Chain A
Amino acid sequence: AQSVTQLGSHVSVSEGALVLLRCNYSSSVPPYLFWYVQYPNQGLQLLLKYTSAATLVKGINGFEAEFKKSETSFHLTKPSAHMSDAAEYFCAVSDRGATGGFKTIFGAGTRLFVKA
């Protein structure tokens, strides 16, 4: 079964600083990986996804992530944090369920705080 591990349940950065949210995956096959963001009292929305086309994936709102097979990592970065980036971020991987359908396995989430 596939899984993802997010390192750090909380990350705090200053406005304008680099954002780095860590995600490691475990997969026996080439994975499909996703980053989602959840703003307070809202549903999740996709930031970006890796589908093996390119190892560096650019997403919305200036975020990007790099797939590193040797490190089994898919860390999310943004060069300069903005107050509006404060949210919960989820790394996720697709996995096949016992009955054949696909399901998304989510990490535990990382809460990003941005200080003025």
Chain B
Amino acid sequence: DTAVSQTPKYLVTQMGNDKSIKCEQNLGHDTMYWYKQDSKKFLKIMFSYNNKELIINETVPNRFSPKSPDKAHLNLHINSLELGDSAVYFCASSQEDRAYYEQYFGPGTRLTVT
């Protein structure tokens, strides 16, 4: 029974298109995150939601819009895709928005923009 799941696992699309990635966690956690991992494996937080409320919004282009319909789901919509958006996107969750809680990661979505 997967704790944090993401769909799709692979996404290949052309520049200018709009795409969405979905994430679900069945751990009963309050806090969810989106991360971007580039080709050098560098991992950077994009957004964080706590109980459906946006609490972290790093310097991410406005083309990226997260949505949390409920505590268990956090989706990421990307408009007008660019070549530089190619990366692996990870969803994660933690029990609460506290410094000492570890995060549980999904398997990732590999986005390739051509």
Contacts and interface: CB of A to CB of B under 8 A. Distances in A.
B66 interface: no
A102 B98 contact: yes
B108 A101 contact: no
A46 B55 CA distance: 23
Interface residues of B, number: 27
B78 interface: no
B86 interface: no
Nearest to A38: B41
Contacts of B33: 103
A103 B100 contact: no
Contact of A90 (B4, B43, B57, B99): B43
Contact of A101 (B40, B44, B56, B106): B56
B41 A99 contact: no
Given A44-B90, A108-B41, A109-B42, A99 B107 contact: no
B48 A97 contact: yes
A100 B48 CA distance: 11
A41 B55 CA distance: 29
B100 A43 contact: no
A101 B105 contact: no
Given A45-B105, A51-B100, A88 B41 contact: yes
A49 to B, nearest CB: 6
A85 to B, nearest CB: 17
A100 B104 CA distance: 21
Nearest to B102: A46
B107 A94 contact: no
Contacts of B50: 101
Interface of A: 32, 34, 36, 38, 41-46, 49, 51, 88, 90, 94-97, 99-104, 106, 108-109, 111
Given A109-B42, A109-B43, 4 more contacts: A42-B108, A43-B90, A88-B41, A99-B55
